Structure 1
Amino acid sequence: MRRPAMPSGAGFTFGAGSLTCRPFTPIIDERMKNPVEFLREVRQEGARITWPGRRETLSWALMIFVFVAISAVFFLVVDKLIAWIVKLLLGVG
């Protein structure tokens, strides 16, 4: 689907080293005038989507949880290591 051209006088124009901003003029073509038709098309597009199954969703959720837990432990160790080095260098503690 190709986007219609912007009408003249809308958007930005450049001239003599300056940027002039004009008020945005929304582009409304015939497809955008009927909200009921729009919602019908959205529903049709939603029906075409291949949604993941329960098992795949749980698998991905578990992988994300494990990755977040590993990352949390990694950053905890790095934080403690940096704190220990700073204390050692500054002679605090």
Structure 2
Amino acid sequence: MRMLLKARLDTDKGNELIESGRMGDVLNSIIQQLQPEAAYFHPERGRRCCLLVFDLADPSQIPPTAEPFFTQMGAELEMTPVMNLEDVQRGMAALKG
């Protein structure tokens, strides 16, 4: 299932990761694990934020997906099922018949 992961990083933990030079390694590890189809980074309400769109094959993947954000970044995390245009079109076609 295509998921949108939104992580708002704790500023102090983010600062520690940047100052120690580990932020790039942590992000690269997450990107390698999730293989997102899209990854965006932006400020939100004064915090570092990232948006990742990735495939969640099974709900049992939620803990290993979420833990690096919690433990290493102190992040607030949201995961929401999302659709692309093709998914919406298939869903709408199913309503017709």
Name the TM tier (shorter chain).
Answer: under 0.3
Q: TM-score, normalised by structure 1?
A: 0.22
Q: TM-score, normalised by structure 2?
A: 0.22
The structure with more helix, counted as a fraction of residues:
1
The structure with more strand, counted as a fraction of residues:
2
